[in-house]
A and B are shown apart, each in its own frame.
Chain A
């Protein structure tokens, strides 16, 4: 693409009326002052309309009997670019693998959503949620129980055939 220069057409020097410009500006600001339409979102009362592909706080999907869906395959800690997932897998007497330790450090997480993309059993998800303020740093490492407790809507994965999620 060629670089083009846009030349601003300014009024010729000596033909500028600062008084008129000032009055125009004043009338513009007055119009905005009395305009009842404001852009402010009254946040705690009104929640922002998050995009379906918003990637926020993680959650772990659970089976109907309350077990985590995670099969401790180790794909998410492998793919995680921030290295924020700690997983120690175990196996029960029927040979089902399950996570003994599953921790996500939300401080290190960059919310890329690759853990959700890579998960073969759709267990770990990033979610449409952002309110995760805490009073101490250690509360930001979410353990398995905490991840399972989360009940916010999960993120819609990017679909190449519907790139704008419409």
Chain B
């Protein structure tokens, strides 16, 4: 068995500091290049080229943008509440950059001084930490909206708070289904359990994935849920009055949220740093050492951390996170913005009861499987996949047709039900509206 190569306290602190610096730097660079990717991909979607002037393929554009934002004039409305006006961007960016800390991004790395977990802080409350801190982000938005003393900014802040609270519930409830399957809240355990199950949670928990994806879009204030910004209605909502680097802070915060949400989606539903169809990278800290899994008799199979596996798994994590980042941009430039009542309708009337019911279903299925003594493996996951797949299809079939986003249409529909079958007019329903 591979020896448990623990770090000494000195090295734990030193390597911890290095990891903090490295992860922070990488996240900031990814955020900077997300702004470029957003502009380039949106341009491609609209058959344009996008910024390609600064450096090869426009790769130095984020630097130019940053430089511009730093040397721009900072404006401050005369009637703004100064303390909160300055505090707003800081409060917005702080939770965004610290939430990435609990996401494991690669298999453990062996070093001469011991084996290093490839996660900044493997805290035992992993997912709860992310939920707690990401909901703090709304304070930054609400405060800056209020402190600007501008009606549009204020409306943006109000909308942000309403939307965040609504979707925080659905987000938390969709995570509970995942937690049921993990049996824990740490994210390293989430990766491990997906390796043990032999499949990623996107299959056995497909509906939770859909709920989580939608809630994550709403939580990060991205289109189609960018009610707090809503350029056409609220100018740009809560950051209307901000300029230069303070404005940039909100942007960095938004993109950092997107990066964290993508990492979280990859970790919870796409196996994190797990490489598919290969058990060689499975690795978890067991009480006796690093193990790959358990054999039929229940004895742990040892695993050997290696630099190659760390690099491969890091690559796998980057690919998965990158996919979700692209998906975020892709969705943004495809879907129009929801109306405010549609957002609330979807959040409270569909997502909340839907995810509650889904938790019951997953818990019930798991209870039956456990009672039947099905081992945690492919069969277990397969049964859950079938159950979830049927539920997802049924959910889409029954709820999708005008009931997800009813809005103003609903009234027409209810009214028509009482009208005796009228002769079909060529105008169709448009004529009656």
B401 touches A30 (CB 8 A): no
- Minimum distance in angstroms from A104 CB to a CB of chain B: 34
A20 to B412 alpha-carbon distance, docked (Å): 22
Given A8-B430, A14-B401, A18-B405, A25 and B47 touching (CB < 8 A)?
no
Shortest C-beta distance, A15 to chain B (Å), equals 6
A3 within 8 A of B: no
Interface residue? B247 (CB, 8 A): no
Q: What distance in Å separates the Cβ of B428 from its nearest Cβ neighbour in chain A? A: 6
* Residue numbers in A under 8 Å from B401 (CB-CB): 14-17
A13 CB to nearest B CB, Å: 5
CB pair B45 A32 closer than 8 Å: yes
The answer to whether A38 touches B400 (Cβ under 8 A) is no
Q: Are A19 and B331 in contact (CB under 8 A)?
A: no
A33 to B402, CA, bound (A): 29
Inside 8 A of B378's CB, which chain A residues have their CB?
Answer: none
**A:12-46 near B, CB below 8 Å:** 12-20, 22, 25-26, 28-30, 32-35, 37-40, 42
Question: Contact between B428 and A9 (Cβ–Cβ < 8 Å)?
Answer: yes
The verdict on A7 contacting chain B, using a C-beta distance below 8 Å, is yes
Partner of A10, one of B43, B405, B428: B428
Given A13-B412, A13-B413, A22-B335: A32 and B44 within 8 A (CB)?
yes
Name B400-423 residues within 8 Å CB distance of A: 400-402, 404-405, 409, 412-413
A42-B58 Cα distance, complex, nearest whole Å: 13
Interface string of B31-48 (1 = CB under 8 A from A): 000000000010111111
Report B351-374 residues with CB < 8 Å from chain A CB: none
| Residues on B with beta carbons closer than 8 Å to the beta carbon of A35 | 47
Is B431 in contact with chain A by the CB < 8 A criterion?
A: yes
**Is B429 part of the contact surface with A, judged by Cβ < 8 Å?**
yes
* Interface residue B49 (Cβ < 8 Å from any Cβ of A): yes
Judged by a CB distance under 8 angstroms, whether B235 is at the interface is: no
* A39 pairs with B431, CB closer than 8 A: no
Minimal beta-carbon separation of B49 from chain A (angstroms): 4
- B400, closest chain A residue (CB): A19
- Inter-chain CA distance A9–B426, complex, in Å, is 9
Tell me if B430 and A7 are in contact (CB < 8 A): yes
State whether A32 touches B412 (Cβ < 8 A): no
Residues in A neighbouring B428, C-beta threshold 8 A: 7, 9-10, 12
Indicate if B427 sits at the interface (CB-CB under 8 A): yes
Q: Report the separation of the CA atoms of residues A26 and B41 in the bound assembly, to the nearest whole angstrom.
A: 13
Contact, CB under 8 Å: A32 / B430 = no
Check if B396 sits within 8 Å of A29, measured CB to CB. no
Q: Count contacts on B: residues with CB < 8 A to the other chain.
A: 28
Which residue of the partner chain, among A9, A19, A29, A39, contacts B330 with CB atoms under 8 Å? A29
Are B430 and A25 in contact, CB atoms less than 8 angstroms apart?
A: no
A7 in contact with B330 (CB, 8 Å): no
Return B241 CB to nearest CB of chain A, in Å. 33
Query: In the assembled complex, how far is the CB of residue A153 from the closest CB belonging to chain B, in whole angstroms?
Result: 28
When chains A and B are docked, how far (Å) is the Cα of A40 from the Cα of B44? 10
How far is B432's CA from A7's CA once the two chains are assembled, in angstroms? 12
User: Are B49 and A38 in contact (CB-based, < 8 A)?
Assistant: yes
The complex places the Cα of A58 from the Cα of B260 at a distance, in Å, of: 58
Q: Which residue of B lies closest to A12 (CB)?
A: B429
In the docked arrangement, what's the CA distance between A19 and B330, Å? 15
Task: Find out whether the CB atom of A29 lies under 8 angstroms from the CB atom of B400.
Answer: no
Cβ < 8 Å to A, chain B residues 12-65: 41, 43-49
A10 touches B330 (CB 8 A): no
- Chain B: minimal CB distance from A17 (Å): 5
Interface bits B388-403 vs A (CB < 8 Å: 1, else 0): 0000000010001110
* Cβ contact within 8 Å between B44 and A7: no
Given A26-B331, A26-B334, do A19 and B48 touch, yes or no (CB 8 Å)?
no
- A19 cross-chain contacts in B, Cβ below 8 A: 396, 400
Query: Would B48 and A38 count as touching, CB distance under 8 A?
Result: yes
In the complex, which residues of chain A have a beta carbon less than 8 angstroms from the beta carbon of B400?
17-20
Q: What residues of B have a CB within 8 angstroms of the CB of A10 in the complex?
A: 428-430
> What CA separation (Å) do A103 and B412 show in the bound complex?
68
Q: How long is the Cα–Cα vector from A148 to B166 in the complex, in angstroms?
A: 70
The answer to the question of B333 belonging to the interface, with a C-beta cut-off of 8 Å to chain A, is yes
In whole angstroms, what is the CA distance A36 to B185 when docked?
A: 45
- Which B45-93 residues have C-beta < 8 A from chain A? 45-49
Chain B residues within an 8 Å CB radius of A30: 330
Question: Are A25 and B334 also in contact (CB < 8 A) when A7-B426, A19-B400 are?
Answer: yes
Residue-wise, chain B 118-157 has the 8 Å CB interface mask toward A (1 for contact) of: 0000000000000000000000000000000000000000
**Known interface pairs A13-B413, A15-B401, A38-B49. Does A33 touch B330 (Cβ–Cβ under 8 Å)?**
yes
List 20 additional contacts besides A10-B428, A13-B409, A38-B47; criterion CB under 8 Å. A7-B426, A7-B430, A9-B428, A10-B429, A13-B429, A16-B402, A17-B400, A18-B405, A19-B400, A26-B330, A26-B331, A29-B330, A29-B333, A32-B45, A33-B41, A33-B330, A35-B47, A37-B47, A39-B47, A40-B48
A-B contact pairs, 8 of them (CB 8 A): A7-B426, A8-B430, A12-B428, A13-B413, A19-B400, A29-B330, A32-B47, A33-B45
B residues whose Cβ falls under 8 Å from a Cβ of A: 41, 43-49, 330-331, 333-335, 396, 400-402, 404-405, 409, 412-413, 426-431
